[in-house]
Amino acid sequence: MHTTTKTVCVFGGTGFVGRHLAQRLTRDGHYVRIPTRHRERHRELLVNPRIKLIEADVYDTRVLRELIQGTDAVINLVGILNESGNDGSGFEHAHVELPRRILSACNVTGTRRLLHMSALNAHPREEHSHYLRTKGVAEDLVHAAARDGMQVTSFRPSVIFGPDDSFFNRFHGLLKLTPWLFPLACPDAKMSPVYVGDVVEAFARSLQDPATIGRHCDICGPETYTLQQLVEYTARAAGLRRHVLRLGNTTSWLQARLLEFVPGKPFSRDNFWSLQKEGVCHENCLLDLDITPTAIAAVVPGYIGNGSSQRRYQAFREQARR
């Protein structure tokens, strides 16, 4: 596919997916603007001459317009998995208010291309999960802007993994802290983990492909697992002997309620409700973009565990190639 050099503003560009995406876009020759509240915390991005880190308040209307002015496209990756309270206002602020302000700024500056990160199972009428509801509201909001000339593609990934993820790495940390028995909420929750490299490749290709305009793209990895299977896989990859204690729905909910009081909220009632939905794709947009989904066995053992895991990683890679 022919690549035209663009200037792209990436909101959420200092996060897990954003850092990978910024580097991927510059390999295509694009110039990337990344607003951040704390520029000095992300100086590793500054070594790339095509990336410009700008300290900014993205909720300031004037600043937002200046960030987007002169860009060819905007990418919104901003998302939170938990909020400080429990009333949904934190989710509303990050997932709905910011996209609304971005659309308004695009309308003023004339930037028409928008790639937007949503989530599998996002729906504006979701009854229990504020995360899924606000993601759904925002997805509908940005696509509705097509009537004003916006050219929007949204992406709805399953759980995303990669070397600096907050999924396998978090469970790895919890498994190390937990003796032989590991209590697991929602053990039968289903998901199809998708590699961050495949996710950013989908964004990069869609940026150049007008056929993706207007699409809601579900993106998943090649295999579907239960949460219990993924936790047990993490333990094996890390060389840890652990037995998973399956918690029922009531106990899982109670665990979520308790862990909401733990710093960092490792698990919440909103997470519990999100896990009641299957995080799987019925149609995987990666295949439409000619991207072969990457298996967890080809990547995860390379960043979970110690030297022995590295040796297992090589074995897993050989197995994945067959």
- In a domain, residue 150? The reply is yes
- In a domain, residue 239? The reply is no
What does the pLDDT look like over 303-314, one tens digit per residue?
A: 996 544 444 444
Distance CA 244, CA 218 (A): 30
Place of tokens 């429990």: 86
For residues 267-271, average pLDDT: 96
Place of tokens 């700024």: 105
Q: What range defines the domain where residue 133 resides? A: 7-164+194-222+281-294
What does the pLDDT look like over 165-214, one tens digit per residue?
A: 999 999 999 999 998 999 999 999 999 999 999 999 999 999 999 999 99
- In a domain, residue 119? The reply is yes
Distance CA 110, CA 281 (A): 34
Amino acid at 253: W
Query: φ and ψ at 17, to 5 degrees?
Result: -70, -40
- In a domain, residue 243? The reply is no
Q: In what order do the strands lie in the sheet with 73-76?
A: 51-55, 31-36, 7-11, 73-76, 113-117, 151-157, 216-219
- In a domain, residue 276? The reply is no
pTM, two decimals, is 0.93
Distance CA 302, CA 322 (A): 18
Q: What pLDDT, on a 0 to 100 scale, did the predictor assign at position 2?
A: 62
- In a domain, residue 272? The reply is no
Q: CATH number, domain at 57?
A: 3.40.50.720
- In a domain, residue 287? The reply is yes
What does the pLDDT look like over 118-134, one tens digit per residue?
A: 999 999 999 999 999 99
Q: Which two tokens stand for residue 293?
A: 């989904």
Contact 115, 205 (CB under 8 A): no
Strand 7-11 to 31-36 pairing: parallel
- In a domain, residue 160? The reply is yes
How many structural domains is the chain composed of? Answer: 1
**Residues for the chain: how many in total?**
322
Distance CA 205, CA 199 (A): 10
